Chain A
Amino acid sequence: MNVYQEHWWNQAKSDYEAFAFLRREGARQCHCLHYLQMATEKIAKAYFWRSGSPPPRNHSGFVQCLRFLGQVRRLDQERLCRLLKFSRFTDFENWIRTALPLAYDLEHLSPNLANDGPNPEYPWPHHEPANAPATHDFAIWRELEHGRGRDLMRVIGTLVERFPEYADT
């Protein structure tokens, strides 16, 4: 892990801890989702910094990060499988395929990617606000609490907490 990765990892960990705290304390969905989205964006940027070049400044990246982990070199595949608790790398590849739609939804929570729709920070639509994040029931939150979503949350937790173990893959 290089020094740039370490800075981004530290911020991702802090965002993730804030998410875990808010969820534990029963905070509103918008605040939990806000920190979860930020944690995924930052862990992706921490990963991209492995090249030594700055990643794009936008709020996306988590999807590309997952996709890229699905094509690591053969010698790193077993390590990644062990870390993320998949028995075979093929299982991980298949899992990525099913997890990506939800990962896109998570990425699109960022206000500048939300197309003036549901986001965890600002009332929408911008020109005639009709909804507030604090009172909105987010469909993605319900998905994250069940099957496929819970599994994505499990993987996100591992990706953040154990970043040094795959930062160089």
Chain B
Amino acid sequence: MTKTAFDKDGLARWYASQHLKVDEAIPSIFYLPAGSGEREIRLVEVNERIGDRTDDYLEPIDFGIDMGMESAHKLFVLDVTPDQWNRIDSGRLSLPKDWSLEGMVPFRR
């Protein structure tokens, strides 16, 4: 099936702006394009209202979008606490497998 041109970076920017606009608990979002699939968007969302977890196993939510349509893509959102983000940023906490901070694009409130 031929698929339409997919503006992955533009869409990532749009999702990030929507989430920042709607949820005051999110001060910053990081778009991680490195290593992601052609139609896959990975966002790390720092959230001040999610509780500290007893474990540090980070699991993103997969929002399959427009499945079966030409615009089909995957949006993965990983919610982390500010403390978890600090540890990710300083290399003390691992991102999910195959995720990388290389070339990350920050979006802030």
Residues of A within 8 A of B (CB): 48, 50-53, 55-58, 60-61, 63-64, 67-68, 70-71, 73, 93, 96-97, 100-101, 104, 108, 112-115
Interface string of B63-77 (1 = CB under 8 A from A): 111110000001001
Contact call B25/A100, Cβ cutoff below 8 A:
yes
- Chain B contacts of A48 at CB under 8 A? 61-63
Docked Cα-Cα span, A6 to B17, in Å, equals 32
Contact call A108/B63, Cβ cutoff below 8 A:
no
Contact call B62/A55, Cβ cutoff below 8 A:
yes
Once A and B bind, how many residue pairs between them come within 8 Å at the CB atom? 65
Docked Cα-Cα span, A152 to B63, in Å, equals 23
Residues of B within 8 A of A (CB): 15, 18-19, 21-25, 49-54, 59-67, 74, 77, 79
Docked Cα-Cα span, A114 to B79, in Å, equals 17
| Shortest Cβ distance from residue A151 to the other chain B in the assembled complex, whole angstroms | 17
Contact call B77/A64, Cβ cutoff below 8 A:
yes
Given the known inter-chain contacts A50-B64, A51-B74, A56-B59, please indicate yes or no for A100 contacting B54, CB distance below 8 A: no
Given the known inter-chain contacts A70-B18, A71-B18, please indicate yes or no for A51 contacting B59, CB distance below 8 A: no
- Chain A contacts of B50 at CB under 8 A? 60, 104, 113
Cβ-neighbour of A53 out of B21, B62, B79 (below 8 A)? B62
Contact call B62/A51, Cβ cutoff below 8 A:
yes
Contact call A68/B54, Cβ cutoff below 8 A:
no
Given the known inter-chain contacts A71-B15, A73-B66, A115-B51, please indicate yes or no for A64 contacting B22, CB distance below 8 A: no
Contact call A112/B54, Cβ cutoff below 8 A:
yes
- Chain A contacts of B22 at CB under 8 A? 67, 70, 93, 96-97, 100
Docked Cα-Cα span, A50 to B67, in Å, equals 9
Contact call A104/B67, Cβ cutoff below 8 A:
no
- Chain B contacts of A60 at CB under 8 A? 50, 79
Q: 14 extra interchain contacts, Cβ-Cβ under 8 A, other than A70-B22, A96-B22, A100-B23?
A: A51-B62, A53-B62, A56-B61, A58-B53, A60-B50, A63-B23, A63-B49, A71-B18, A73-B65, A100-B25, A104-B49, A112-B54, A113-B51, A114-B51
